[in-house]
Structure 1
Amino acid sequence: MTDTDFPYLVADRLAALPHVHAVALGGSRAQGTHTPDSDWDFALYYRGTFDPEHLRGIGWPGEVCELGAWGGGVFNGGAWLTIEDRHVDVHYRDLDAVEHEIDRGEQGRFHWEPLMFHLAGIPSYLVVAELALGQTLRGTLPRPGFPAALRSAAHTMWRDRAVRTLRYAEGAHVARGHATEFGGAVAVAALESAHAVLAARGEWVTNEKRLLERAGLREIDEIRTELRGDPAALARTLTAVEAVLVGAMRCAVRDGNNRESPYAADE
């Protein structure tokens, strides 16, 4: 079976399940940034309730999780499957909950959630981003823009988290020479800053895989290679990291026409 036909085969089977209203292709396959080895990401949008037992009943090999098994937040479960010799992820999406996040985003409202494999956590508007970037295969789904109110609110929240993360790392780890803890904090702050940069530009984010590249923060890699358990060296690293974030924030504020960052005020 060709890659052209494959997503429609999966979508047809998912769309036939009880209470499923729409099916979308997401991730790199939907955005055209995939490689031959990339997984296939599908979201099934249901209303009211969804019973994973119906998905198991199709007979595709793999692991099918219960609703809420992935933390109980906006990512409320899914499955890892093998279909036609391809690795497939299926995400459960409560359409009522997703539409609620669309409405909240229009008002500049959202919340932060922890999620495994995401160092900086995720914003609740991630499920809105999936709609904006995905390809609807079956049913009808909205394709929201990035509201101005959300751009401002998200930029501010992520910027402030990055500032606080670095300030904590400075106070808790630099003087003690805790290179591992400090390095972890730098990684988190870089990803938080990347979220802030892309929010200011009005660019949707669905995961962290290419987040630093998109935000122009890949330079952090070179800075972190200098980490060692010496307070003076960690202090120099902190200064270098902040300099990179200053540049990224300055560009985001200018390009996104957002309000000025406190980093820029420190120049």
Structure 2
Amino acid sequence: MPDDEEFLDRVVAKLAGLPGVTAIALGGSRAQGTHQADSDWDLGIYYRNTFDPQDLRDLGWSGEVFELGAWGGGIFNGGAWLQIDGRKVDVHYRDLAVIERVIAEAEVGQFTIEPLMFHLAGIPSYLLLAELAFAQVLHGDLPRPTYPPELQQQAATRWWNSADLLFGYAETSSASSGRVTQCLGLLAQATMMAAHAVMAAEGRWVTNEKRLLPDAGLSSVDDLLLDFGKAPEDLASLIRSTRNVCSSRLATATNPDESHSRW
């Protein structure tokens, strides 16, 4: 088995030769230096105008290659799960035209939120920028965006407004009726949205939800969820406590020099 450097050089050379591909980037934990020995290799292939997944299949690597749009048709528009030289390799298709549009929108504080499997809060379109901010560019040239100030303000407000609505609904509807599973589901979703708000307020990129709560300083919510009763008044108290934790953390992120906040 080739060592990691030789393996990566060979794979990148093959991917860079595919029609339409103009750049290759290493992402995920390996780009950020937080990987384990058995962590996947996340490779983004950035293309201009068009890309044909059949060209990737024709390289002959084992695994599954998906069509464009097969992962929902949004900003995550497909990819492949491969086994190469005994390593797990995830390939992600990235359309440069989409990235350029998302960058322009982010500069004026605009973004969309898309549902994505395994993500409680969904994913913001500016996640594409977060990938680029952390990625190691291995071939070609790619934008290296910084967090736009207008996006900090708009994203923090939008995420928190959504979280606050969910906290309120969870208390007045689910908790008051003793619907435990629904209540906890809404609570978890709201907390993730609040964490997004904190990260936005501090101008810190988010690439997925795996470490979102600790990165946002909201790990203490885990302790709250482990100690609650099932009675309506207990559930309502849990929701209020969780909301207060999130609101206080966001207040600090938004204005660390003041102890009060509109949140």
Does 1:250 pair with 2:233?
no
Once the 2 structures are TM-superposed, how far is the Cα of residue 228 of structure 1 from its aligned partner?
4.2
- Structure 2 equivalent of residue 130 of structure 1: 131
How many correspondences in the alignment?
261
Secondary structure of the 2:122 match is strand
User: Letter of the aligned partner of 2:94 in structure 1?
Assistant: R
Residues 183 and 227, structure 1, Cα contact 8 Å, conserved in 2: no
- Structure 1 equivalent of residue 13 of structure 2: 12
Once the 2 structures are TM-superposed, how far is the Cα of residue 229 of structure 1 from its aligned partner?
2.8
- Structure 2 equivalent of residue 241 of structure 1: 242
User: Letter of the aligned partner of 1:131 in structure 2?
Assistant: L
Give runs of aligned pairs for residues 37-56 of structure 1, distance below 5 A.
37-56=38-57
4+ residue runs over 3 A deviation: none
- Structure 2 equivalent of residue 173 of structure 1: 174
* Aligned equivalents of 1:261, 1:69: Cα separation in 2: 43
* Aligned equivalents of 1:261, 1:82: Cα separation in 2: 50
Secondary structure of the 2:121 match is strand
* Aligned equivalents of 1:182, 1:227: Cα separation in 2: 12
Identity, in percent, stands at: 51
Q: CA RMSD in A?
A: 1.5
- Structure 1 equivalent of residue 67 of structure 2: 66
* Aligned equivalents of 1:165, 1:3: Cα separation in 2: 45
Once the 2 structures are TM-superposed, how far is the Cα of residue 240 of structure 1 from its aligned partner?
1.4
User: What TM-score do the two structures reach when normalised by structure 2?
Assistant: 0.95
Give runs of aligned pairs for residues 82-231 of structure 1, distance below 5 A.
82-231=83-232
Structure 2 gaps of 5+ residues are none
Structure 1 gaps of 5+ residues are none
User: Letter of the aligned partner of 1:232 in structure 2?
Assistant: E
Deviation readout 1:126-167 (Å, 9 max, x if unpaired): 111111110100011110110101111111111111101111
Residues 18 and 50, structure 1, Cα contact 8 Å, conserved in 2: yes
- Structure 1 equivalent of residue 262 of structure 2: 262
Deviation readout 1:198-242 (Å, 9 max, x if unpaired): 111111111001000100111111111134431011011112112
Residues 40 and 89, structure 1, Cα contact 8 Å, conserved in 2: yes
Secondary structure of the 1:262 match is coil
User: Letter of the aligned partner of 2:127 in structure 1?
Assistant: L
